[in-house]
Structure 1
Amino acid sequence: MRICYFGDGESVHIVRFCSHFKQLGHDVHLISFKNVKIEGITNHYINTGNITVSGGNWKVLLQAGKVKKLLKQIKPDIFHSIYATSYGITGALCGFHPYFITTLGSDVLISPQNSKLYKLLLKYAFSKADWIQTLAPHMSDAVLKIGSDINKVSVIPFGIDINIFNDKCRQENTDNFIITSTRNHEEIYNIPLLINALGKIKNKIPNLKFMFTGSGSLTEKFKELIVENGLKELTTFTGRITQAEMVKLLNETSLFVSVSFSDGNNLSLAEAMSCGCFCIGSDIPANKLWIDDNTNGFLVNTTDVNNLAEKILYANTNYNELQQLAKNINKSKIKNTGIWDNNMKKVEEKYFTFIN
């Protein structure tokens, strides 16, 4: 089967899709507005200038003609856009079938709320798609609200690679209580809430260490906020790290915190759970898929810094008891819905449905 993906070649999701289906023996192509090369994949680059995470990328819609020309050359069995706005809408303009769209989160949860034009364009894209993959039920609700045939929509989470993200090599640092954030440094991830909460309790956890991975447009502001809260000596900024380094860090982490305002299906949380971390998440639908409040983790309000501070203190004081309760629940949740290979088999079955 020849599959042509259409998406951001720098995105970990695109890399995972392309690499996975290549390993299964399929002929995989990628059309992208980012000039990157994925090993073993036939890459096709269309130069549109700078594309930003903050939006305003309407100019990519003007490239539909070039994408359509490439599709005539590639002749794929399946054309699949990853991310519903820029790539999904542009792909819909090409008129190719069978055409699939995978939504990732903010493309259907935030963009159409902020722009009536985006909502209209997404409705058009969904009308042209033969199948739409969402990562969670609340995302399917958003797609249907925008306007789509319910029979086109399936919930299939991405999931994690449990051969990589697991607790087989877990070695907690018993000298320190390590709190880790792995989210990117952008507004949607609400990282100041965590920094300010840590500032309130830093003197109440004597062995506190804060591991801060990732990068983004707000990195320098976050570093300033760390200093303002008296956390500089307790904090390690790692920047972007490799997958192997991420696994090692999570296996040393006591408490993982993700308090984003919005998420599709929080893979960062699933990775942490699978590596044996106790977790605190914001009280949003994506995190409720993984955390049962006060059972295998805590859910907190996205604006209540005192609530987050209290939960961190409670987790520190009652850590062993909480971990004992959470461990088996976390493993069960990952096994049921969080394994990448199992979920991608469902995607492959959907592909074959449309070409047979």
Structure 2
Amino acid sequence: MKICYLGDANSIHTKKLCCFFRDKGYDVSVISLNDGEIEGVKVYSMAMKIENQGNSIAKVRYLRNIIKIKKLVKEINPDILHAHYATSYGLFGSLMNYKPYIISVWGSDVYDFPKKSFIHEKLLKYNLKKADLILSTSKVMADETRKYIDKDILITPFGVDIDKFKTNNMNKTVEDGLVVGTIKTLEEKYGIEYLIKAFQIVKNRNKNLNIKLKIAGKGSKESDLKTLCKELNIENYVEFLGFVNPNDVPNIFNSFDIAVFPSILDSESFGVAAVEAEACGVPVIVSDVGGLMESTKPNYSSFVAKRKDSNDLADKLERLLLDDKLRKSMGMNARKYVEDNYNCIDNFNYINNIYLDLLGKK
């Protein structure tokens, strides 16, 4: 099979998908707006960063790239043309008039883009209408997409490598005490300040409890979050780990006893980091955001806390911190939940079956 993806060659999700089908012996190509490399995959870079250019220049380059991409697609002549992101790459794919053509929605393309203006909404509807199939990583995002198109939408989650993300207690020591942690970009929308405040509440209510908070990631709010820790007099119990190499993420999750993802967004397409933590046998606490909750099984592998509510988050943290049996059982449940639902090999094989079925219908 010959597959051509329209998507960002630097995206970890694009890379994992390409590598899976490359290893199946398929001929895989990626047409990307950014420079990038994927071993064993032909990457055609348009090297166009629209957000850094003037409006008129961006439009001219867009038009030039439409012509370039159309020529490339004709030369590649794939069995499947698959765009990842319903707007930018989805527009390119829609203008190719190629069959069969698939669009995967990713998040902001359906949550934010169509709300910018009537024209943006019409453009999204046009792109979705041109697709033979639409895929979504979560049910809640599929529901959002159905506001703009009356088509069946197949659910194809972002799974994880369960051989890479697995339980490894070698990183835990008694001296660490109990570790609450998160791995996230340090931006306001991810609600890290509420985690810090919840941690302080728990610490004040349980003076003799040996607990630490580890925060991994970089972002514009890092300085503000460190200042908040000092103001709350918990800076000695909070460790900022900084940028984390993707290869080190499993080890860091394994150093946590509880992982917390307190997003304050109105919508999240999916919670990949929550799935990664669960795969490592770590119980998680997520805020009540659709895609986040869908990536866990509430009251089985996770607890759900109210958005922007440090007191509710503190209550959920306390339940897990003070009940060893509950915390450990939910950790085991978390691993099983991912094995049953979010093993990336199973998820990618499902996409492969979608391709085969589509080609059979063709």
> TM-score normalized by structure 2?
0.87
Deviation (angstroms), 1:127:
0.4
Aligned to 1:83: 85
Deviation (angstroms), 1:159:
1.1
From 256, 262, 267, the counterpart of 2:272 = 267
Q: Is the 8 A contact 1:65 1:94 kept in 2?
A: no
**In 2, distance between residues paired with 1:245 and 1:321?**
28
Aligned to 2:260: 257
Deviation (angstroms), 1:324:
3.6
Aligned to 1:326: 330
Q: State the Cα deviation string for residues 32-88 of structure 1 (Å, max 9, x = none).
A: 111111222111111323548xxxx98575432222122122222211111222222
Aligned to 1:340: 344
**In 2, distance between residues paired with 1:293 and 1:226?**
29
CA 1:268–1:170: 2 relative to 1, 3 Å: farther
Q: Is the 8 A contact 1:291 1:299 kept in 2?
A: no
Secondary structure, counterpart of 1:180 in structure 2: strand
Q: Is the 8 A contact 1:296 1:322 kept in 2?
A: no
Structure 1 letter corresponding to 2:337: K
CA 1:202–1:15: 2 relative to 1, 3 Å: same
CA 1:300–1:117: 2 relative to 1, 3 Å: farther
Aligned to 1:9: 9
Aligned to 2:147: 145
**What are the within-5 Å matches in structure 2 for residues 161-176 of structure 1?**
161-169=161-169, 171-175=171-175, 176=177
Q: Is the 8 A contact 1:187 1:218 kept in 2?
A: yes
Unmatched 5+ residue regions in structure 1?
none
Q: Is the 8 A contact 1:159 1:340 kept in 2?
A: yes
CA 1:336–1:294: 2 relative to 1, 3 Å: closer
Q: Is the 8 A contact 2:256 2:282 kept in 1?
A: yes
**In 1, distance between residues paired with 2:309 and 2:141?**
25
**In 2, distance between residues paired with 1:27 and 1:348?**
13
From 304, 315, 336, the counterpart of 1:299 = 304
CA 1:168–1:235: 2 relative to 1, 3 Å: closer
Q: Which moved more, 1:170-179 or 1:269-278?
A: 170-179
**In 2, distance between residues paired with 1:115 and 1:194?**
35
Structure 2 letter corresponding to 1:303: K
Structure 2 letter corresponding to 1:103: V
Aligned residues: 349
Q: State the Cα deviation string for residues 232-259 of structure 1 (Å, max 9, x = none).
A: 4333333332333111111121110012
Q: Which moved more, 1:15-24 or 1:208-217?
A: 208-217
Q: State the Cα deviation string for residues 244-301 of structure 1 (Å, max 9, x = none).
A: 3111111121110012223222121111111111210011222332444444321011
Q: Which moved more, 1:185-194 or 1:7-16?
A: 185-194
Aligned to 1:186: 187
| Alignment pair present for 1:66 and 2:68 | yes
Unmatched 5+ residue regions in structure 2?
none
Aligned to 1:128: 130
**In 2, distance between residues paired with 1:116 and 1:170?**
54
**In 2, distance between residues paired with 1:315 and 1:191?**
19
Aligned to 1:49: 49
Q: Is the 8 A contact 1:92 1:128 kept in 2?
A: yes
Q: Is the 8 A contact 1:123 1:148 kept in 2?
A: no
Deviation (angstroms), 1:171:
4.3
Q: Which moved more, 1:236-245 or 1:216-225?
A: 216-225
**In 2, distance between residues paired with 1:67 and 1:272?**
38
Q: Is the 8 A contact 1:7 1:32 kept in 2?
A: yes
| Alignment pair present for 1:240 and 2:243 | yes
Higher gyration radius (CA): 2
Structure 1 letter corresponding to 2:160: I
Q: State the Cα deviation string for residues 65-123 of structure 1 (Å, max 9, x = none).
A: 22212212222221111122222223212222211111122322333345443322111
**What are the within-5 Å matches in structure 2 for residues 23-38 of structure 1?**
23-38=23-38
CA 1:70–1:229: 2 relative to 1, 3 Å: farther
Aligned to 2:98: 96
Q: Which moved more, 1:111-120 or 1:7-16?
A: 111-120
**In 2, distance between residues paired with 1:58 and 1:139?**
29
**In 2, distance between residues paired with 1:171 and 1:207?**
17
Structure 1 letter corresponding to 2:27: D
CA 1:94–1:338: 2 relative to 1, 3 Å: same
**In 2, distance between residues paired with 1:121 and 1:253?**
44
Deviation (angstroms), 1:18:
1.3
| Alignment pair present for 1:308 and 2:313 | yes
**In 2, distance between residues paired with 1:224 and 1:258?**
20
